Amino acid sequence: MLKTDLNSEPETEVDLTTELEKKQDLDSTPSNKVRPCDAEDIDLIRRAFWFGHRLHQGQKRRSGEPYIAHPIAVATLLRDLGADAETIAAGFLHDVIEDTDITAEMLSTEFGSEVSALVDGVTKLSKYNFSSKTAQQAENFRRMFLAMAKDIRVIVVKLADRLHNMRTLEFMPEDKQKQIAEETMQIFAPLANRLGIWHFKWELEDLSFKYLDRESYRYIQDLVQAKRTEREAEIAQSIDIL
């Protein structure tokens, strides 16, 4: 049972929501698509953060860092995509139904039916694990995901969740790394492609390849590094000539 006061707020501010208020700085974000936020949006995002912060208090990720670091990363990815306030709030809250005593009904009371439906949708998608190796079954699974998500923003939140999990996959056991990487390559990268979120697709594929074929990944990485070193040397030489 929850023993913390979910409606009280510590005195310290949150970097993410504070940054959202600074509209003049929004063009410095990776995508230049961040939506301007009015006071109501900022209030929703801030409340979602503190709500999730308290619910995940004491929980740790496999890396040892506080669990809230993951929802913050997911919400930041969504912000950089230009997501609306409800989607960013869902990013902060996407694991609370699965990992705490909070229900969709409780979320609806606190944040409204829209945010609650997004979080509930992500939770339902998270219950399915893909294990097939055939292309047709992978396509069927992707179609099922899209059909289950009545709101496409559910898929977007899930993609952001998967991307951050892939970025921190090194802390998982090796057998789980390969299983998750295979699922990411077969299901989530193609979904990102289908939705036109190209930089998600590319990074999901790169990270999956890293765990599915380590030797080839390192070989390509070494080639890229060698080329980079060669180019830097050529540039330095050109500067010296000038």
Phi-psi region of 95 (alpha: psi -120 to 50; beta: other; left: phi over 0): alpha
Is 221's pLDDT higher than 80?
no
Q: Which of the two residues, 100 and 136, has the higher pLDDT score? A: 100
Per CATH, which fold does 132-242 belong to? Hypothetical protein af1432 (1.10.3210)
Handedness of CA 25, 31, 36, 40 (dihedral sign): negative
Distance between CA atoms of residues 198 and 204, nearest Å: 10
Is 23's pLDDT higher than 50?
no
For the beta carbon of residue 223, count every other beta carbon within 10 angstroms.
10
pLDDT in tens, 192-220: 999 999 999 999 999 999 998 877 867 77
pLDDT confidence of residue 235 = 66
* Known catalytic residue at 161: no
Mean pLDDT value across the chain: 82
Domains 1-119 and 132-242 are alike in CATH topology: yes
Distance between CA atoms of residues 176 and 180, nearest Å: 6
* Known catalytic residue at 139: no
Q: What is the domain partition of the chain in residue ranges?
A: 1-119, 132-242
Among residues 27, 99, 213, 222, which one is catalytic?
99
Place domain 1-119 in its CATH homologous superfamily: Hypothetical protein af1432 (1.10.3210.10)
pLDDT confidence of residue 98 = 94
Q: Please, which pLDDT band fits residue 147 given cuts at 50, 70 and 90?
A: confident
Mean pLDDT for 16-42 is 53
Is 10's pLDDT higher than 70?
no
Among residues 27, 65, 98, 232, which one is catalytic?
98
